[in-house]
Amino acid sequence: MHKYSFEKLEVWQDSRKIISELYIITKSFPEEEKFGLVSQIRRVAYSIPSNIVHPVK
Question: How many structural domains comprise the chain?
Answer: 1
Contact assessment for residue 56 and residue 16, using Cβ atoms and an 8 Å cutoff: no
The set of residues, in sequence order, having a beta carbon less than 8 Å from that of 45 and lying 6+ positions away, is: 15, 18, 19, 22, 23
Calculate Rg over the CA atoms of the chain.
13
**The pLDDT value given to residue 25:** 96
- What is the model's pLDDT at position 53? 87
pLDDT for residue 55: 74
In a domain, 15, yes or no: no
Q: Give the burial string for 14-53 (b: 16+ CB within 10 Å, else e).
A: ebeeeeeebeeebeeeeeeeeeeebeebeeebbeebeeee
Instruction: Identify the domain containing residue 50 by its residue range.
Output: 28-57
Residue 47: inside a domain, yes or no?
yes
Residue 38 lies in a domain: yes
> Residue 17: inside a domain, yes or no?
no
- pLDDT tens-place string over residues 1-57: 566 788 899 999 999 999 999 999 999 999 999 889 999 999 999 999 999 888 776
- Residue 53 inside a domain? The answer is yes
Residue-level pLDDT at 4: 76
